Amino acid sequence: MDKMTEVTTEPQKETTTFADIDHAMGLRMYENMRRVRDFDEAVHELNAAGELPGFVHVYVGEEGIASGVMTAINDDDYITSTHRGHGHCVAKGVEMDGMMAELYGRVTGICKGKGGSMHIADFSKGMLGANGIVAGSTPIAVGAALSAQMRNSGQVAVCFFGDGATNEGIFHESLNLASIWDLPCIFVCENNGYAQTTATSYAMNVKDLAVRAKSYNIPGVIVDGQDIIAVHRATKKAAERAREGKGPSLLECKTTRFYGHFEGDNLKYRDPNEAIEARKRDPLVLFADNVAPAIGVTTDEMKVIDEKVADVIKKAIEFGRSSPFPSPEDCLNDVYVNY
Ligand SMILES: Cc1ncc(C[n+]2csc(CCOP(=O)(O)OP(=O)(O)O)c2C)c(N)n1
Ligand SMILES: [Mg+2]
């Protein structure tokens, strides 16, 4: 079996051309990122205004990862997600009306208002669920990949998780099983440097989490998570390998969250300059400045997308706000399934 054990770094856009990214793909990438960004910026504002109930973790700043991955896989591929899952859902194509109504706890929500932010799922889109349990996304992706392998369906399962998840036992069990069975699974670590208030540098004695792939004899790739092109290319390579039956890969995407761990986080543990520096590498701005001109995507085209997305989000908020709450009699329905 052709397995790579070396940890590699995906070439960055500065050193490569964009021959593999055409105009249509450029538009798709920009729109995907814009949708992810604006959805969570809206959630950030609504939560601060006291309008959205519950506990939410926004994805702002990390869009290059979800959008880079999703533009490199197929609609019928699977994903599993985390507590910071809105971006994964939006990027995979889950409708924003249902997502927003779910956050409002309304009956029209994607989980009928009973799941909330950390349990959004839409099997019809291959989105197998956000997950409040850190690293809980990993065995679910392994199961989905095993199913794809047994059915010989050619699908891959992409598993999103944070740096903190890589210290959980189930993460290691999942990589091991996926490796020995050569499962079509792509493990995407979103290394934003923190697990809640704990810096990765405090919690781990390795700088690059991609090295953890070595224990399982699978490729480990370090990727600039702010660079959608780098994420897209690394995912394509990993997906190709997975579909050829060569097994899983681990992509470590380095990124930064622009806001706190959760909405309401006072961020006392983080130097404010970190967010200021991080915003200089905003994935949408990097795309607009470096990629768009090179592939012929114009500012006017991006403006049209901005307006379209703003409209979709405005409608989603109105839909959420005006939908009814579930009735008390409905409380226990759909919570358990009897087979
Ligand atoms: C098994 C488990 N342990 C602890 C928690 C509490 N918790 C919620 S989010 C979080 C940090 C996760 O950090 P990371 O995996 O890096 O993801 P990030 O929030 O940075 O995206 C922790 C410890 C939990 N939800 N589940
Ligand atoms: Mg983290």
The finding on whether 193 has its CB within 6 A of some atom of ligand 1 is no
* pLDDT, tens only, 183-215: 999 999 999 999 999 999 999 999 999 999 999
Q: How far is CA 190 from CA 37, 161, 195, 200, 253, in A?
A: 16, 6, 11, 12, 5
The finding on whether 252 has its CB within 6 A of some atom of ligand 1 is no
198 forms beta bridges with: 195
* pLDDT, tens only, 110-135: 999 999 999 999 999 999 999 999 99
Cα 112 from Cα 224, distance rounded (Å): 37
**What mean pLDDT do residues 74-89 have?**
98
Higher pLDDT, 286 or 12: 286
Which residue in 50, 40, 74, 45 sits closest to 153, CA to CA?
74
The finding on whether 86 has its CB within 6 A of some atom of ligand 1 is no
| Ligand 1 pocket test target in 134, 138, 160, 204 with most atoms within 8 Å of CB | 134
Closest-approaching ligand to the CA atom of 265? 1
Cα 17 from Cα 334, distance rounded (Å): 50
The amino acid occupying position 10 is E
Nearest CA to ligand 1 atom 21: 162
Tokens at 50, concatenated? 């006291």
pLDDT given at position 11? 63
Whether residue 1 is predicted with pLDDT greater than 80 in this model: the reply is no
pLDDT given at position 6? 65
The finding on whether 87 has its CB within 6 A of some atom of ligand 1 is no
Give the domain 7-323 fold.
Rossmann fold (3.40.50)
* pLDDT, tens only, 230-247: 999 999 999 999 999 999
Nearest CA to ligand 1 atom 13: 195
State the number of CA atoms in the 13 A half-sphere of 240 facing the CB. 7
pLDDT given at position 2? 42
Q: Where are the domains of the chain?
A: 7-323
User: What is the pTM for the complete model shown?
Assistant: 0.96
